[in-house]
Structure 1
């Protein structure tokens, strides 16, 4: 009954991982990654480690959007190349990757670097170098400071958590516990969640830290079981979320679970199987399996053209981010520079990508406030 109520109220592979630079060095110091025939975009993402699913989503979703653009002649006569560097979700590796890209002048911009602590680590470097970064995969409010270089697409984690708290408390649920990833991302969501509950004169029955590698999972599950909550807010991400959900299903049968958009990346859902059923999640992009919107139809067609038949929120977000970046490159003109790309992105107003609108005003640049709520069925797809 709770699941039904929640719905009714809510209304190509690793080949992209190392793109060789076949076209020689950049032609001008202010246009790194640009040659007569190609423009290279870089991304630091986990192709290994606990958040590997995010790297896969970027490879597939952004790769599909870029492949589609290249098949139509590229942008302003140049093909677009995507260079993905593995960081294993380790901030120091993200920092090293971005330093390498900037030092070598191998890319014009960054696309969808993953993680709150990772993006925190590279923020000063981007400001110093003046490198544009489109669509970082984080909704952290701490990273939404005025910047000439960073262009967010997704809505914030704050908005996601507030929407979930509002829905859960609106359903009359008592005894809400928060399980959070023990890093900057999880602690920020914990602060938002406890603050929202505090404003209602309530507090969590448990605040349980979960190690990013899952090494304390048994202890975390024991703490949750002892608190006997009626609902658990999952401020986690990556593979650890899978085992956490399984453990909660076993030790707290019937408890409602709700998470943010990054809690369960698409690659993790097949691992959960029936255990995914009933989990409520925020969605910062439309349902990737629904063909009602032109954006989703375009995404599905681009994915299928690259041989991908599994769709997910993560790969749709990466596809969407790449589409926005491609629009910025188009607006940058025939001789793109980082300054021209920044100006091109900043000029985007009410860009309708087929039922999803992106609009940039003054910094901090946040293109979308889109949030919906959905509940997973036992196939790992949203129902209702």
Structure 2
């Protein structure tokens, strides 16, 4: 657990008399407002933002990274005086990567008039439940690229990352340029996996290719990966695209144990789960939807690194950079909404964002557009786990 999370205080909400017990962790980004030279905080109510994501389940690496990055941004904002003279507080609810819990958390936030918006739900089904549960609140930066969710055209949901179709196309185009024509696919049997498979098949067709082998795992969270690994190893594709997230390390270990030597390409959601592989992760390629956290040629990365260090966190990662950028977009919406913003005025303000430069990555929304970012690149894990792009 990082230093930011160590400074959390916990409480259990009971404002609606619910018997359901879940712990909300309130992160008051810069609670020491007086010491930070922001006397206006004493007069204005804080702006509270809800955040439901996995802090203890199979996707906790992604969840904790997203949260740490968002907190680094908010700490910097609060230290500089907040937004329109108001401190920003981020309230975390651990949904343990369970869609039904994510929905319950969202409804709890919606019932609390002090919570203005929700930030970066994690997971396809979790995001689907949240965006439907709170139509009157902005949901900024969901951590999923599933295209079907974007086709809902939900006016309350503001996407900051590119979608999985764009990620898959980047990976397959990269393979094609390298002369690779035997490409395998492994995906889960759920909405995420269905989306990834459809994207792979469409991209392969566009490059006049066919999948050498398609293997499946039971679900996004299932560790039953051995049959899929055996099928991939037997077919011996040059590259296997893994449409898996937290279970990717287990699949890769099983693939190597089964004698499979295929190069592994993953989606952006795969990257943060690879740490347990250690040196075995070296050479794995994956799509990234934010710049490398080490790419200091980007202004946003330089600011991110400085704000992470100021928050007591020297570990840079793709999820934390994504969380930082998600929070930046939300802060811009709050600035535009002005003092005393409401849920409705915040949504309208976010919709007005066009050509907003985060520092090398531009965000474009509009009256009907909610997909703000098209950035996709390919990275490889190098020596000592360093991300190379």
TM value normalised by structure 2: 0.86
1:259 matched to 2:251? The reply is no
Query: What RMSD over aligned residues (CA atoms) do the two structures have, in Å?
Result: 1.9
Alignment correspondent of 1:133: 139
Matches of residues 178-327 of structure 1 in structure 2 within 5 Å?
Answer: 178-210=185-217, 211-238=219-246, 240-252=247-259, 254-265=261-272, 268-327=273-332
Do 2:176 and 2:207's aligned partners in 1 also have CA atoms closer than 8 Å?
A: no
1:369 matched to 2:377? The reply is no
Do 1:276 and 1:378's aligned partners in 2 also have CA atoms closer than 8 Å?
A: no
Matches of residues 343-362 of structure 1 in structure 2 within 5 Å?
Answer: 343-362=348-367
Matches of 2:257 and 2:284, distance apart in 1: 14
Query: What is the CA-CA distance between 1:367 and the residue it aligns to?
Result: 1.2
Query: What is the CA-CA distance between 1:105 and the residue it aligns to?
Result: 2.9
Q: Secondary structure at the match of 1:121?
A: helix
Query: What is the CA-CA distance between 1:377 and the residue it aligns to?
Result: 0.8
1:100 matched to 2:105? The reply is no
Alignment correspondent of 1:8: none
Matches of 1:132 and 1:63, distance apart in 2: 18
Query: What is the CA-CA distance between 1:106 and the residue it aligns to?
Result: 4.3
Matches of 1:343 and 1:212, distance apart in 2: 34
Do 1:242 and 1:264's aligned partners in 2 also have CA atoms closer than 8 Å?
A: no
1:67 matched to 2:75? The reply is yes
Matches of residues 16-165 of structure 1 in structure 2 within 5 Å?
Answer: 18-19=25-26, 36-127=44-135, 130-145=136-151, 146-165=153-172
Do 2:100 and 2:129's aligned partners in 1 also have CA atoms closer than 8 Å?
A: yes
Query: What is the CA-CA distance between 1:252 and the residue it aligns to?
Result: 4.0
Deviations 1:2-38 (A, max 9, x none): xxxxxxxxxx1252751189xxxxxxxxxxxxx9320
Unaligned runs of 5+ in 2: 10-23, 29-42
Deviations 1:58-88 (A, max 9, x none): 2210011001111111111111000111111
Query: What is the CA-CA distance between 1:323 and the residue it aligns to?
Result: 0.7
CA 1:98–1:319 in 2, change beyond 3 Å: closer, same or farther?
same
Matches of 2:50 and 2:87, distance apart in 1: 14
Matches of 1:371 and 1:122, distance apart in 2: 25
Q: Report which structure shows greater RCO (CA 8 Å, sep ≥6).
A: 1
Matches of 1:241 and 1:167, distance apart in 2: 21
Do 2:230 and 2:255's aligned partners in 1 also have CA atoms closer than 8 Å?
A: no
TM value normalised by structure 1: 0.88
Unaligned runs of 5+ in 1: 1-11, 22-34
Deviations 1:310-366 (A, max 9, x none): 111110000001011011111111110011111211111211122121121232311
Q: Secondary structure at the match of 1:109?
A: strand
